[in-house]
Amino acid sequence: MRLFDWLCRFAAMMIVIHSLAIASDLDDVQKLINTGKYEEAEAFATEQVERGIWNERWPKTLMQVQLTQGKPEPALKVYEDAIKRYPTSLSLRMLGVEALRRCGKADEASAANNQILLLMQTAPSRYASRDNLVAMGQYFAAKGEDARQILELFFDRVLDSDPTHLGACLASAELALSKNDFQVAADTLKRALEIAPENPAVHYQLARTWATSDRIRSNQSLQTALDLNPRHPPSLLLKAEKAIDGEQYEAAAAILDFLLSINPNHQEAFGLKAVIAHLAGDFEAEASLRQKALTTWGENPNVDHLIGKKLSEKYRFTEGAAYQRRALELDSGFVPAKFQLSQDLLRIGQNEVGWELAKQVADEDPYNVVAINLLNLNSKLSQFASIEENGIILRMSSDEAGIYGQSVMDLLSEAKNTLCDKYQITPNAPIIVEIYPDQKDFAIRTFGVPGGAGFLGVCFGRVITANSPASQGQSPSNWKSVLWHEFCHVVTLEKTKNRMPRWLSEGISVYEERQRDPAWGEKITPIYREMLLSESLTPVSELSNAFLSPPSAIHLQFAYYQSSLVIDFLVDNHGSESVLVILDALADGLNISDALEKSVGSLDRLDAEFQIYAQKIANEFAPDADWTRDNIPESPSTEDLERIIQETPNHYWALRTLAEKSYSLGQFEAAKVYLETLENLNCFTGESGDPLYLLANTRQQLGDALGEQAAREQYDQLNSNSLATLRRLIEIFSEQSQWDRVLEVAEKFLSIHPLLEEGHLALANAAERQNQPEKTISALNAISQMAPVDPALIHYQLAKAHHALGQNQEAKRHILLSLAEAPRYREAHQLFRKIIKETNPIEQDQDLNSKVNTDSPESNQDQSTTSKDGSANE
């Protein structure tokens, strides 16, 4: 039996010895530590150790304070003396290992580490104090043993006997956090908060617990930690990480310098400085900072792991992966690096190795929530269909692939040709596009954990993940515009070697959506108009922040719009080459400010000119409307609004609110007056909730067919996501037998929801009447994949379309399939006789019923039943 398993059993039976009551002096020194007064704490603890007070906590505390300040040599000295007095203290021994490592004594550290194992093996009962049980748990956690068992048998056990044991709480939360189990971390920390609300370590761990799910809460916890102790190294490191995430590199560097003033040997601080140097394109400084980081404990795999992880978060997956490999060279068993490497590889499209590594991690570490999620997803992915064309690998569920896979591929291929040409790049590896029918799977593939409900698609460079319409309820987004947008990210990321700020990438993607189809992408709305004219307009030089810490959801949405406007501005004022110059400069390693200056000159001038440009766009939008909100009371009554309109007849908000009120009361004549006033002001935008939509409905209610049609068509020109509008336009154009228009509208319908029969049916009908049998066939084929309501009809129509193309063999196959569903289908019989007559007049009297009534559709497909018809037209 392995030692770990044996100890687990043993731990379960162990009677925990009560540790010594904590002296009030220890409380005092802990207060000094909690508030960052490390020098005073060190002096105090040194005094106690020198006085020889018999309590192992004194040398431990002293060593901790010394290690916190980057003084491993004196800490080692304390250890060497103390271990003679307290040979059974495992936690002291672990601090000793730490001190040896940081003194650069790798061999001795490793020997001391092995000795801990040996001691536990020989006489475990000697190490049964609570502190030792926590230390044992930490020891085995570092060795990668089963985390669930460690939690239960070491940490929970200590907490059962002493619910106020802070060390057990913190160790337990740390372990849960390292496995992305935020729920367990949160539960444990709730208890820690009751035990020691003044301990910054508790708040620091809370900040990490909320980091991915609740940014505001996380920031608050971090702030509390630093309010308690402005010199708390882990919190300072986390704060620097967050500043790097927010592209605030100068602020991050200042925090790290402060941290290094507390501990001049802080390895991770140097690591993060290396990250900042890399992002600034200063690769020499990056190398020397990494070297500095590794001067103390040269084998610490966490330094390279941290640098790589931060680079990957900046989309530098290739560089990030290289760092994880370096970490694994230092410690081949370092699971966090192995797992990060697997994530990196999956994001740069090296799926085979990526999945293999994820599997290894899940096998070695069954508590790694993200790895297990990924592994479950991989088995689902293996069922996906794969379509390859033009250097693109498209993977989607096989059901969906049969229905609209080819349309997706056509769109992606068009995006590739158009955008690669425009941005002058040639991807030298395939682009992988994965479309998920289940949002949860999308989230796991994209973020590792469920969540991310607002995302339709995500691009990592050469990998795009997207949600299929199946996962988006009643009103999915236009998948064509989503994929066009994401593909544009592929192109700009490739162009800059993934070295671009998010705002620029989003700005170009939204801009290119509008270039491809004016109905796609963000456009001006009354709210955006107000934001353009207020301080919500962010200077170009500060746009990164608009994405990284938006005050609200609408601000984030506006950030997309504003960024795309910057591209409009650049193209209008400096030509489209100016964008290429910026991208090339980024690819060369310049930061965004330098890249912008290289392309268009002074940043201050750019900010000023863009502001004028943006204000002009805002002011030119519906200039005759009165946009003020000042004269509207908080909850205006109808009378209030009518009074406003009497005073200012073009008052946008009063007109819109009155129109909505009248419509909801069924007062369509009144609604029409307000809506048509708005129409004359040219203020329709096609946004969801736009009064134009109401105008169309109002006119429909009033029986104004022409007026309704005009409004629907205008709405359709402005909005690419309205299934209801397209449904109605199909009805209107079908009644008018305008089949070319039906065809056009049905194609738009399928760009939103290809998984509904109705769009394909409209397309098939219109295409048939327009004599476009190929289109009819592809639409009907799609329907036949989705358990159609009337399969006999679908096969009959397919037969007609194939017959129109002279494909008689195929036509007959579908007639037989149709008759298998409905044996007395008269039109099908007639078509069959017609085909026989055309192809082989001798057989025209053949009794068809005898052939189809008894056969299954499968056997009807058999060549032997149909080949004797001898069609020569196939």
Residues that bind Zn ion (CB under 5 A): 506, 509
Q: CA-based angle 555:558:562, to the nearest 5? A: 135
Q: How many Å apart are CA 853 and CA 855, to the nearest integer?
A: 6
Nearer to Zn ion, 355 or 547 (CB): 547
| Amino acid at the residue 139 | Y
- Complex with Zn ion: residue 351 or 564, whichever CB lies closer: 564
Number of helices (H) and strands (E), helices first, in the chain?
Answer: 49, 5
Cα–Cα–Cα angle for 288, 292, 293, rounded to 5 degrees: 115
Closest CA to 377 of 405, 408, 402, 346: 346
User: How many other β-carbons are positioned within 10 Å of the β-carbon of residue 505?
Assistant: 22
Burial track 301-323 (b if 16+ CB lie within 10 A, e otherwise): bbbbbbbbbbbbebbbbbbbbbb
Q: Which helix (H) or strand (E) holds 61?
A: helix 57-68
Q: What minimum distance in Å lies between the beta carbon of 510 and Zn ion?
A: 8
Q: Cβ of residue 502: shortest distance to Zn ion, in angstroms?
A: 8
Nearest distance in Å: CB 489, Zn ion: 6
Q: Nearest distance from residue 560's CB to Zn ion, in Å?
A: 7
Of 171 and 488, the one with the shorter C-beta distance to Zn ion is 488
Q: Looking at beta carbons only, is 563 or 765 nearer to Zn ion?
A: 563
> Min. distance of Cβ 514 from Zn ion in angstroms?
14
What is the smallest separation between the CB atom of 409 and Zn ion, expressed in angstroms? 21
> Residues, the chain, total?
874
Q: Which is nearer to Zn ion, 52 or 454 (CB)?
A: 454
Both tokens of 454, joined, read 């607002």
Amino acid letter, 304 = D
**In angstroms, how far is CA 846 from the centroid of its own chain?**
62
List the Cα angle 656/657/661 in 5-degree steps: 120
Q: What is the C-alpha separation between 431 and 464, in angstroms, rounded?
A: 8
**C-beta of 519: minimal distance to Zn ion in Å?**
18
Three-state DSSP at 864 gives helix
Backbone angles phi, psi at 51, to 5 degrees: -70, -10
Side-chain-facing half-sphere of 817: CA atoms under 13 Å: 21
The answer to whether 626 and 648 have CB atoms below 8 angstroms apart is yes
Which amino acid belongs to residue 737?
A: S
Nearest to Zn ion of 361, 582 (CB atom): 582
Whole-angstrom distance, CA of residue 797 vs CA of residue 831: 10
Q: How far is the CB of 509 from Zn ion (least distance, A)?
A: 5
Q: How many CB atoms lie within 10 A of CB 117?
A: 15
Nearer to Zn ion, 560 or 796 (CB): 560
- Closer Cβ to Zn ion, 113 or 564, answer by number: 564
Burial class (CB within 10 angstroms; exposed 0-12, middle 13-18, buried 19+) of 737? exposed
Nearer CB in complex with Zn ion: 456/782: 456
Q: In whole angstroms, what separates CA 571 from the centre of its chain?
A: 30
Closest C-alpha among 345, 368, 360 to residue 429: 345
Report in angstroms how near the CB of residue 832 gets to Zn ion at its nearest. 53
User: Would you say 145 or 506 has its CB closer to Zn ion?
Assistant: 506
Please say whether the dihedral angle defined by the alpha carbons of residues 256, 259, 265 and 269, taken in this order, is positive or negative. negative
Q: How far is the CB of 506 from Zn ion (least distance, A)?
A: 5
Q: What is the closest distance, in whole angstroms, from the C-beta atom of residue 690 to Zn ion in the complex?
A: 23
The nearest distance, CB 466 to Zn ion, in angstroms, is 11
Measured from the CB atom, is 559 or 746 closer to Zn ion? 559
> Min. distance of Cβ 505 from Zn ion in angstroms?
7
Of 228 and 456, CB closest to Zn ion: 456
| Six token digits for residue 106 | 């790798």
Helix (H/G/I), strand (E/B), else coil: 393: strand
- DSSP code per residue over 663-690: HHTT-HHHHHHHHHHHHHTT-----TT-
Radius of gyration of the chain (CA): 34
Query: Minimum distance from CB of 592 to Zn ion (Å)?
Result: 17
Nearer to Zn ion, 493 or 817 (CB): 493
Residue 675 CB, shortest distance to Zn ion, in Å, is 34
Find all residues with CB under 8 Å of 338, minimum gap 6, and list them.
Answer: 324, 328, 357, 360, 361
Cβ within 8 Å of residue 540, ≥6 positions away = 566, 596, 603, 606, 607, 610
Which one, 42 or 506, has the nearer CB to Zn ion?
Answer: 506
Pick the closer one to Zn ion by CB: 505 or 772. Answer: 505
